[in-house]
Amino acid sequence: MLASHAFANAMFIASQRTRRASYLPDGPCVKDGAGGGHVNRAIVGLSILISALGAPAAEVASGVELIPGSFVPGSQPDGNTVIFRGSDGLVVMDTGRHPEHTQKILDFAAKAGVPIRAIVNSHWHLDHVGGNPLLKRAFPGVRVYASGAIDDALKGFLARYRAQLEEMIAKTPDPEKQKPWRADVALIDSGRALGPDEVVTASSQRVLAGRKLDLELETHAVTAGDVWVFDPATRVLAAGDLVTLPVPFLDTACPERWKTALGRLSKKDFSVVVPGHGAPMTRKAFESYRTAFDHLLACGASSRTKESCMDGWLADAGELISGEDPKFVRPLLDYYVDVLRGNAARTAKLCGK
């Protein structure tokens, strides 16, 4: 079973056992004493207020907004979208998978009365690049910045996933059940429209839409090429899927290099981390995530039981996922411990060896 579909199945099983988790924090913005602008100090555990699909954008810091991703029952999720306001327009980091999510981005731009000038894709997973074609049609001059890893993904992982989807469609007569699979086929068939106009080949500071942003590149971490963004003005770090909740999504990852990448994030002088999935984190929460990640990798590489590894993550990441029902998280952990203990040759390839 292809990992992407296995993930969808795990999500579907979990969604039948518990209510969908909320991912958007909300709370009073206060002046950060370190001079990092207005940041939300009450970041962790404030995901209760906005708990339904259709949640509006929320301010993370001055000029930085979050449109939260969501898990769609029976289908794949949307990643978080982070929007940076520049003097010349908006910079959008990650565009979601489903049209409903991407429409929230367009609605935000319309309400703000400013154009989207740039898109930064953290990586090539469809729940982060799927909205690119729609935004490009709405704003023909928009420029997309990302690594070039999607080229190989379209010929490899996504091509295999498409073939699997076609097989599932052929075996399933119910048109309603086919809809999410056909939607993913259509996305994959968008091809180069999902990819960058400008390939990020090295870390550097850029001025996008009039705002200075550090675009940092990791290779062979979550994917073959992952871009994360640091905003010096507010000290907000948008991590993409280098940080994900309720569990790390390891389908296309090199675990050890992901661990190394988290070490590089830790060295940045950030006030808040916005994950690719999940609520924003303080530095303390991020370090808790990093510890939990390290322990999960160590357990996966050991002879300890799968149950022990799952229990360890739930204990280590407990405060970060306190709003989650363990019955939601455990099927995901069950799957991803198997991924960690999977084919060594496949893992080596994902690590660029």
CATH code, domain with 125: 3.60.15.10
68-126 pLDDT, tens digit each:
998 654 568 999 999 999 999 999 999 999 999 999 999 999 999 999 999 999 999 99
Q: What is the pLDDT at residue 323?
A: 80
Peptide bond connecting 246 to the previous residue in cis, omega within 30 degrees of 0: yes
Q: What is the pLDDT at residue 1?
A: 38
- Whether residue 34 is predicted with pLDDT greater than 50 in this model: the reply is no
Q: What is the pLDDT at residue 17?
A: 34
CA separation for the pair 225, 148 (Å, rounded): 7
Per-residue pLDDT band for 55 (boundaries 50, 70, 90) equals low
Please report whether residue 267 resides in a domain. Answer: no
For residue 20, the 8-state DSSP code is P
Q: What is the DSSP string of 51-108?
A: -STT---EEEETTEEEE---PPTTS-----EEEEEETTEEEEE---SSHHHHHHHHHH
Q: What are phi and psi of 85, to 5 degrees?
A: -90, 125
Please report whether residue 103 resides in a domain. Answer: yes
Q: How far is CA 216 from CA 204, 252, 264, in A?
A: 6, 19, 10
Question: Lowest mean pLDDT: which of 46-55, 241-250, 289-298?
Answer: 46-55
Strands ordered across the beta sheet of 116-120: 30-31, 38-39, 58-61, 64-67, 81-86, 89-93, 116-120, 143-146, 198-199
Q: Tell me the average pLDDT of the chain.
A: 86
Helix (H) or strand (E) holding 170: helix 157-171
- Whether residue 19 is predicted with pLDDT greater than 60 in this model: the reply is no
Q: How far is CA 183 from CA 46, 95, 170, in A?
A: 33, 15, 15
% of the chain with per-residue pLDDT over 70: 83
What does DSSP say about strands 236-244 and 272-277: parallel, antiparallel, or unpaired?
Answer: parallel
Q: What is the pLDDT at residue 75?
A: 64
CB 122 within 8 A of CB 76: no
266-324 pLDDT, tens digit each:
999 999 999 999 999 999 999 999 999 999 999 999 999 999 999 999 999 999 998 87
**In the predicted model, what is the mean pLDDT of residues 237-262?**
97
Please report whether residue 122 resides in a domain. Answer: yes
User: Which residues touch 311 (CB under 8 Å, ≥6 apart)?
Assistant: none
What does DSSP say about strands 58-61 and 236-244: parallel, antiparallel, or unpaired?
Answer: unpaired
Please report whether residue 346 resides in a domain. Answer: no
Per-residue pLDDT band for 243 (boundaries 50, 70, 90) equals very high
For residue 121, the 8-state DSSP code is -
Tell me the residue range of the domain where 123 lies: 3-245+273-280
Please report whether residue 20 resides in a domain. Answer: yes
Please report whether residue 212 resides in a domain. Answer: yes
Domains in the chain: how many in total? Answer: 1
